[in-house]
């Protein structure tokens, strides 16, 4: 089945939005798990996420 370019772009945008939502859900889940297991590390994990993916590696954080 062939899609027109506008339909393809619309589908791509919807898929990207769904992927972003899944990533956000997983991130919140990971933060909640950190809080439950190691509440003292929660601020450290949030700060690492705020710095961005290129800078999250740290000697005290798993990559």
Assign 3-state DSSP to the chain and report helix, strand, coil percentages, each to 5: 80, 5, 20
What is the reported pTM? Answer: 0.50
pLDDT value at residue 40: 83
Residue 61 clears pLDDT 60, i.e. is over it? no
Q: What are 21-54's pLDDT values in tens digits?
A: 998 888 888 888 888 888 888 888 888 888 876 5
pLDDT value at residue 13: 92
Please count the other Cβ atoms lying within 10 Å of the Cβ belonging to residue 18: 10
Please count the other Cβ atoms lying within 10 Å of the Cβ belonging to residue 38: 11
pLDDT value at residue 44: 85
């Amino acid at each position: 089945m062939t899609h027109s370019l506008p339909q393809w772009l619309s589908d791509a945008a919807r898929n990207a939005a769904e992927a972003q939502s899944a990533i956000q859900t997983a991130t919140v889940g990971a933060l909640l798990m950190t809080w439950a297991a190691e509440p003292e590390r929660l601020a450290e994990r949030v700060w690492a996420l705020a710095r961005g993916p290129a800078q999250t590696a740290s000697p005290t954080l798993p990559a």
